[in-house]
Structure 1
C-alpha cells in the first residue's frame, strides 16, 4: 500500500504537469493576441514549472512503479517458496513440476506487471477526472463536451475485454502446457535418449509450441482491435471539439486561446488514456497467472493440524508406521528392503510425515507426527530421498544447515567417505586453499553421481537428527566405498535411530535389524545373514535371484554372495577384478 501511495503521488505530479501544458500554451497564445508582455512572461514561467514537474514526476513514478513490480513478484516468489518448503515432496504429487516452474517464473512476472500498471492507472484516472473538472470550469461550453466524451472513450472497449480475456486465458493455458512439457522433457532427457523417445517428445513440443503461436496470434488480433479503437475514438472526439469550438469562436463565445487550450488538452489526455488499455491487458494476462498461483498457495499438507501440540516438545522413541507395521527401534540401525523402489520412496516420505495417509499416522514415541507442527516434525525426523539436490555455492555453505552441534563437518565428511570429493573440489578451484571454500556448481554437475550422493549424505549426517531416514544412499558408489560408508554411518549414528532403504548386501549386513516389506506390509524381520537363507522373497530382492535359481543347499548361499558381489561391483566400472575376488573371499570367510 505504501508503494502504491507513493506511485499515486508522483504520478499525479507527472500527469497533472503534462496536462497543464495546454493551459499554459493557451495563455501564451492569448497573450500574443492581446499583445500582453506580462501574460506572455507568466505563460513562460508556468511552462517552465510544468516541465520541471513533468521531469521529476516521471522519474520518481518510474522508480516507484518498477519497485512495486519487483516487490510484488519477489513477495509472490517468497510465498511460493515457503509453500514449497512447507509441502515438501507432497507438492509434486499434487501439481506437475512444469506448472510449479511456470508459476514461479512467468506467472509472478505477470502478477508484478499488473501491480506496476495499477500504479500508473490510478494516477492517470485521477488526472483525467481533475482535467475534465478543470475544463468545465475553464470553458464550460467545450468542457462539457470533453467531460462527456472522455468517459465514453474509457469504457468503449469494455464489451471487447471479455473476449480478449478469454483468448488471453486460452493462450496462457497453451503456454502453460508447453512449459510443463518442456520441463518434463528436459528432466527426463537422459531416459528418453536411452529408450529412443527423444524425437517423439520433441515432436510433441513442436506441436504444443505451434498451438501457443496460433493462440498468441488470435489474442494479438483482438488487442490490435482494442488499440485501434483507442486511437479512433479520441480522434473523433478531437474533430468534434474542433468543429464545435470553431463554431463557438465565430460567435465570439470562446477566445482563440481557450480553443487552443481545450484542443491541446484533448491531445494530451490521450497519453493517460493509454494506461486504461494497459491495465486491461495486464488484468487479462495476470488473472490466469494469479489463479494458478492461488491454486498452488491453497494446497495444504494432508497432515496439517491446528498446531495445538506444543512445538517445543519434540518427541523421541520408536518410529512406527501402522500402515505397514514397520518398526524402527530407537537408537538402532534398521535397514528396510522393499522390492518396489517407488513404494520404498513413498514409505520413506511417510516416515518423515510428508505424505501420511489419513487414519494411519506415523508414530514417533507414540506421538503421531501428524499432530506435530511441521518444524518440529522435521527436527525430529530427517528424510533424504534417493535424488538429493546440491545447491550452488561453497562446500561450507552446503553444510551450513540446522544441526545439533554434536557432529562436525570433518566427522560427517569422513563417515560419508568424501576424501576424493574434497580433493576433486580443491583441484577444480582456482583460488580456494581450503576444500570447505571450494565452490560447487549448480546441482553439483562438475561431480560424479557417487560424489554428489556422498556430499548429500554428509549434509544429512551433520544435522544429527533424532531419526534419520535414508533412501538408497549408496546406489551410485562402488562396493568398497559402500562398505566403508556403511561402517562409518553406523559408527557415527551410534545411539541414534537410523532407517536405510536399500537392497545392498553390504549395507544390510551391517544393519542391526533388517525388515522386509512386501506388497505394503512387513513380512519378515531379522538380520541379513538369517533372512538371506530363510526368506526366499528377501533373497530374491537382495540377490536378484529367481525361483529357478534357488537350490536347497549351501551353493545357493554362495551363489547369492557371488551375484551380490558382482552386482555391487558392476555399479562402478572402475572396480578391478582383483577387488571383486577380494570381496568374494571376505564374504566366504564371514559365511
Structure 2
C-alpha cells in the first residue's frame, strides 16, 4: 500500500501552474488596468496645471483627451483581465474536482477511508472552489503591486520624501497583513473540517432515515447532528471573527498610512516644494492607494483559505492506496493467446477466465489461514458465524484489500499480480447493501450488462415482479440510492444488475435478506439456473440459498471449520445448524 506524501503547497502550485496562460494573461491585463488607474491622478494633475495655473486651453484639452484614452484602455484591460481570471479560477476548480472524483473512484481505493461521503463532497466542491480562487487572488495581487509600483515612481518624481514613504511603508504594511492572516488560516482550516464533517453526518443520516425511523432513533440522530452542526457553527463564527478582525485592523493601518501620505504631501505643497497640480496628483494618488492596499487584504484572506483547502485536498489526492494497482493491462507480453500469458518483463495477463478460485492460507482481519478451492462452474456457499469474517472475505475476493498473508488465486494466478481492471472484470462482488443510482429501473439493471442477459437476470432475481408492480414498469424512475423503492424491491434490482453483468465469477453477499420466504426460494432457484456452468460464491446464512449450492464452507472463528453439502452439515454440525437455522 502506497503512503501519502502530498503537501497542500503542491496542490496550490499545480492548480496555478495548470492555468498559467490565463493567469499570465489576466496578470498582464490587470497590470495594464492598475497602471491606467495610477496614471489617472497624474493626468488630472497635469490638466489642472495647464487649465488652472497656466490657463492653457489647448493643453487642457490635450490632457483631457489623453485621460479619455487611458480610461478606454483601463476599462478594456479590466474587462478581459477579469474574464481570464474567472476562467482560470473556474477551470482550476473543475480540474481539482475531476482529480478528486478520479481518486475517490480509483480501483485501488483508500481515499474514502475515514471520510464520510458528505465530507468528500464538501472537499470536492467548496475546497476545490477556494483553491481555484487562488488563481484570481494572484492576478489581483500582481495587478495591485503594479499599481503601487507606478504610484511610487510617480511620487518619487514629484517628491523624493513622498516616494520613499510609499516604497518603504507599503512592504511593511503587506508584511503586517501577512502576519494577521495566520490566525485566519488556522481557523479557516478548522471551519472547513467541521463543515465537511457536518455535511457528511447529514448525508449519512438521510441515507439511513428509513432505518432510523424503524428503530425509533430519530431523537438520538437529531441530537447527534445538532451537536456536530453546533461545532461547525462555532468554528465558522470563529473564522468569521478572525476575518473581520484581520480586515478591520488592515483597514485601520491602511487608513493611517494614507493619512500620513496626504499629510506629508500637504506640508510639501505649503512650503512650495511641489506645485498645485503635483499636490492634486499626490492627494489623488494617496486616495487611489486605498484600492490596491485593500485588495492586498482580500488577497491575503483568499490565500489563507486557499492554503487550508489545499491541505484538505492533498489529504484525499495523496491518500495511500488500499491495494496496489497490479500489472497494468496491455503491457509488454500481452499478445494474443488463451489462458494466462506471461511476457518478458511483464506480469501475467488474463486471456480467458475459466473461473477456478482458490484461497490459499489466507489471513486478513478476522480470517486465519483459510483454504478454499472452488472449481470452475461450481456454486459454493460460505457460512460465517461472525459477520466480520464474511466482510473480510468479501474485501479479499473483490480485492478491496490485499491479504496480510496467503493469497487469493484466479485460474492459478494471484489477484495481486493482475491488473485491477482485469480482476474487477473477472470477479464481481455484489454486497447486500449495494446502492442504485438515479435513472430508470432498466438503466440500473443494464449498467454493465449484455443486452441478451437482462431479461433472464430480471426473472431470476424476481425483478420482473417489481416491474409489474410499478406504474411505468421497467421505465419507472428510481431516485438516488434507490430510496423510491422498498427494501425488497431495491435488493432485487441490485441482484438483477449483478446477474446481468454475467461475469465469470460472481460473489453474492446475502442477496435475499429483504424478501419473503416464497420470493427467496424463487431467487435461489433463479440463481442456480442462470449461473449454471459459471463460478458462483454465495456468502449467506439463508437455508434456501445454501440448498442450491454444490457444497458449503463453514467459517467459524475465522477458520474453515467444515465443508460439505447443506443437508449433511445441517444434520451433522451443531455450529452450522446454529448459524443457519437460528
TM-score, length basis structure 1: 0.82
Which structure carries more helix by proportion?
Answer: 1
Deviations 1:491-543 (A, max 9, x none): 22222211121122221111222222222122222222222212221121221
- Does the 8 A contact of 1:238 with 1:263 survive in 2? no
Q: Which moved more, 1:326-335 or 1:380-389?
A: 326-335
SS of residue paired to 1:325? strand
Indicate whether 1:408 and 2:446 are aligned.
no
Indicate whether 1:9 and 2:28 are aligned.
yes
SS of residue paired to 2:304? helix
Match of 1:30 in 2: 49
After TM superposition, give the deviation of residue 193 of structure 1 in Å. Answer: 4.3
After TM superposition, give the deviation of residue 369 of structure 1 in Å. Answer: 0.9
Q: What aligned pairs does 1:567-578 form with structure 2 within 5 A after superposition?
A: none
- Does the 8 A contact of 2:262 with 2:286 survive in 1? no
Indicate whether 1:506 and 2:551 are aligned.
no
- Using the alignment, how far apart are the partners of 1:509 and 1:189 within structure 2? 35
Match of 1:232 in 2: 252
After TM superposition, give the deviation of residue 205 of structure 1 in Å. Answer: 3.5
- Does the 8 A contact of 2:34 with 2:146 survive in 1? no
SS of residue paired to 1:360? strand
- Using the alignment, how far apart are the partners of 1:18 and 1:355 within structure 2? 60
After TM superposition, give the deviation of residue 4 of structure 1 in Å. Answer: 1.7
Q: Aligned in 2, Cα 1:468/1:306: closer, same or farther, shift over 3 Å?
A: closer
Q: What aligned pairs does 1:96-175 form with structure 2 within 5 A after superposition?
A: 96-97=116-117, 99-137=119-157, 140-175=160-195
SS of residue paired to 2:405? coil
Q: Which moved more, 1:341-350 or 1:406-415?
A: 406-415
Q: Aligned in 2, Cα 1:518/1:455: closer, same or farther, shift over 3 Å?
A: same
After TM superposition, give the deviation of residue 402 of structure 1 in Å. Answer: 4.3
SS of residue paired to 2:513? coil
Match of 1:65 in 2: 85
- Using the alignment, how far apart are the partners of 1:464 and 1:62 within structure 2? 53
- Does the 8 A contact of 1:301 with 1:354 survive in 2? no
What number of residue pairs does the alignment pair up?
A: 536
- Using the alignment, how far apart are the partners of 2:569 and 2:100 within structure 1? 46
- Does the 8 A contact of 1:406 with 1:464 survive in 2? no
After TM superposition, give the deviation of residue 418 of structure 1 in Å. Answer: 1.9
Alignment counterpart, residue 280 of structure 1, candidates 292, 300, 304? 300
After TM superposition, give the deviation of residue 378 of structure 1 in Å. Answer: 0.9
- Using the alignment, how far apart are the partners of 1:19 and 1:455 within structure 2? 67
Q: Which moved more, 1:107-116 or 1:71-80?
A: 107-116
Indicate whether 1:418 and 2:438 are aligned.
no
Alignment counterpart, residue 531 of structure 2, candidates 493, 498, 505? 493
Match of 1:289 in 2: 309
Match of 2:225 in 1: 205
RMSD between superposed Cα atoms in Å: 2.8
Q: Aligned in 2, Cα 1:42/1:229: closer, same or farther, shift over 3 Å?
A: farther
Indicate whether 1:56 and 2:56 are aligned.
no
Alignment counterpart, residue 555 of structure 2, candidates 476, 492, 517? 517
TM-score, length basis structure 2: 0.84
After TM superposition, give the deviation of residue 310 of structure 1 in Å. Answer: 5.2
Indicate whether 1:348 and 2:394 are aligned.
yes
- Using the alignment, how far apart are the partners of 1:146 and 1:407 within structure 2? 78
Match of 1:571 in 2: none
SS of residue paired to 2:289? helix
Match of 1:254 in 2: 274
- Using the alignment, how far apart are the partners of 1:6 and 1:482 within structure 2? 65
Q: Aligned in 2, Cα 1:207/1:140: closer, same or farther, shift over 3 Å?
A: same
Match of 2:335 in 1: none
Q: Aligned in 2, Cα 1:310/1:125: closer, same or farther, shift over 3 Å?
A: farther
After TM superposition, give the deviation of residue 376 of structure 1 in Å. Answer: 1.6
After TM superposition, give the deviation of residue 167 of structure 1 in Å. Answer: 3.0
Q: Aligned in 2, Cα 1:137/1:90: closer, same or farther, shift over 3 Å?
A: same
- Does the 8 A contact of 2:108 with 2:325 survive in 1? no
Indicate whether 1:381 and 2:419 are aligned.
no
Indicate whether 1:21 and 2:67 are aligned.
no
SS of residue paired to 1:379? helix
- Using the alignment, how far apart are the partners of 1:286 and 1:424 within structure 2? 51
- Using the alignment, how far apart are the partners of 2:109 and 2:178 within structure 1? 44
Q: Aligned in 2, Cα 1:459/1:138: closer, same or farther, shift over 3 Å?
A: farther
Indicate whether 1:304 and 2:335 are aligned.
no
- Unaligned runs of at least 5 residues, structure 2: 1-19, 328-345, 363-369
- Using the alignment, how far apart are the partners of 1:300 and 1:212 within structure 2? 28
After TM superposition, give the deviation of residue 187 of structure 1 in Å. Answer: 4.2
Deviations 1:411-456 (A, max 9, x none): 332332222333455x25xxxxxx5554322222222222222222
Indicate whether 1:331 and 2:331 are aligned.
no
Alignment counterpart, residue 569 of structure 2, candidates 531, 551, 556? 531
Alignment counterpart, residue 394 of structure 1, candidates 434, 440, 458? 440
Q: Aligned in 2, Cα 1:91/1:192: closer, same or farther, shift over 3 Å?
A: farther
- Does the 8 A contact of 2:355 with 2:505 survive in 1? no
SS of residue paired to 2:428? strand
After TM superposition, give the deviation of residue 351 of structure 1 in Å. Answer: 0.6
- Unaligned runs of at least 5 residues, structure 1: 429-434, 545-591
Return the structure number with greater relative CO, CA threshold 8 A, min gap 6: 2
Q: Which moved more, 1:187-196 or 1:122-131?
A: 187-196
Q: Aligned in 2, Cα 1:289/1:540: closer, same or farther, shift over 3 Å?
A: same
- Using the alignment, how far apart are the partners of 1:196 and 1:418 within structure 2? 30
Q: Which moved more, 1:439-448 or 1:63-72?
A: 63-72
Match of 1:75 in 2: 95
Match of 1:570 in 2: none
